[in-house]
Structure 1
Amino acid sequence: MNHNVLRLYDYNVWANRRVFNHLKELPSEIYRQEVKSVFPNLEEVIGHLFKTDIVWLCAMSDKSYEDIQQLVGRYSEEMKNQNIEEVERTYLEFSKQYVDFLSSQEDLDASKTITHPMYGKLKTSLSELVQHVVNHGTYHRGNITAMVRQMGYPGPSTDFIFYLYEKQGEPSL
């Protein structure tokens, strides 16, 4: 098993937790406050991040496109009108499924083919898909930081180096 892939995913969860913790310290109304940005508000970008994580875990698990759409729809419906604490709980519970799935794989670098109805087939590996999930999360955490700053508050620090410093001395996954 590739411990670097698990560590990379652990960083993603750590960084998202930092965002959640930071947002919980700010006035609750900013979660749905309109912002002129890539997303109309923080709720939308966080929902997008979470739904995309769902899509990729399902794709890695060989679920059908229809099953993925159904699950994303279910989580979308569940998250409607949830506050930041409730969304965080739902996300953290779901992230355990990633860890369980990745930990159960014998070779995260083995060749894997995924199929998308619009983009076609892609030959890749689970480790590359995890890298995509983390990269996607990093990109949108940047959106969140920019949006929070637009509203007059400092953004959270979620750089990988801060994760490494914080995890220093802890056993690797």
Structure 2
Amino acid sequence: MNPVTHFTQLARYNQWATARLLDAVAAVAEADYRRDLGLFFKSIHGTLNHLLVGEHLLWFRRFDEGVSPKLALDAELEQDRVALAERLQAGAARWTPLIASWPAERFDGTLNYTTMRGMPASLPFAATLAHVFNHGTHHRGQITAALTALGQLCPELDLVYFLQTEVTAP
């Protein structure tokens, strides 16, 4: 498979899964949404803020602009849950056109960036981009587990369900 095709598909999946998760999270009571549920970033809100920081404000900028902003991975950049959901959806929508703009050869290269500790790093481009989408899947999984523990309905977020929607789409 062409890497542009593969990674734009992962970006579309990321956007689809983010939207489905945020729809489910919208039904959670405010107290439960902000409560420490034992997640790595404590609450659903904290985990969603981490996704905003990591996926959209850190990794996206590394891939798009070649810069590594200094951000705390647990920063609460958006206190309002509706605004946070909007920023996450808008951020997820930015990946597909970015990836589609790269030539296939770019995926065989490296991504040079600065780590959170200020150290220069150089990693395989395609594998590091895969990390971005895997990271989102990991944290969405944490949130769905929290939703289940709260007795909330949980959406199916497996990639195969997304692929089925793409096959059956008109």
**TM-score of the two chains, using structure 2 as the length reference:** 0.82
Amino acid in the other structure paired with 1:60? F
User: Which among 28, 46, 53 is matched to residue 26 of structure 1?
Assistant: 28
Matches within 5 A, 1:136-155: 136-155=135-154
> Structure 1 residue 64 and structure 2 residue 67: aligned?
yes
User: Which among 80, 83, 86 is matched to residue 82 of structure 1?
Assistant: 80
TM-fit CA distance, 1:111: 0.4
Write the distance in 2 (CA, Å) between the matches of 1:5 and 1:113: 15
Of the structure 1 ranges 34-43 and 137-146, higher mean CA displacement relative to structure 2 is found in 34-43
Write the distance in 2 (CA, Å) between the matches of 1:105 and 1:122: 18
Q: Deviations over 1:49-72 (max 9, x none)?
A: 12111211111124333xx22xx5
Matches within 5 A, 1:81-120: 81-83=79-81, 85-107=82-104, 108-117=106-115, 118=117, 120=120
Amino acid in the other structure paired with 1:111? G
**TM-score of the two chains, using structure 1 as the length reference:** 0.80
Q: Is the 8 A contact 1:14 1:163 kept in 2?
A: yes
Identity %: 19
The number of equivalent residue pairs is 162
Q: Any stretches of 5+ residues in structure 2 without a counterpart?
A: none
Which residue is 1:160 aligned to?
159
Which residue is 2:123 aligned to?
123
Where relative contact order (Cα < 8 A, 6+ residues apart) is larger, the structure is: 1
Write the distance in 2 (CA, Å) between the matches of 1:130 and 1:123: 10
TM-fit CA distance, 1:141: 1.1
Runs of 4+ that moved beyond 6 A: none
Write the distance in 2 (CA, Å) between the matches of 1:43 and 1:77: 9
Q: Is the 8 A contact 1:148 1:155 kept in 2?
A: yes
Q: Any stretches of 5+ residues in structure 1 without a counterpart?
A: none
Q: CA RMSD in A?
A: 2.3
Aligned partner of residue 26 in structure 1, secondary structure:
coil
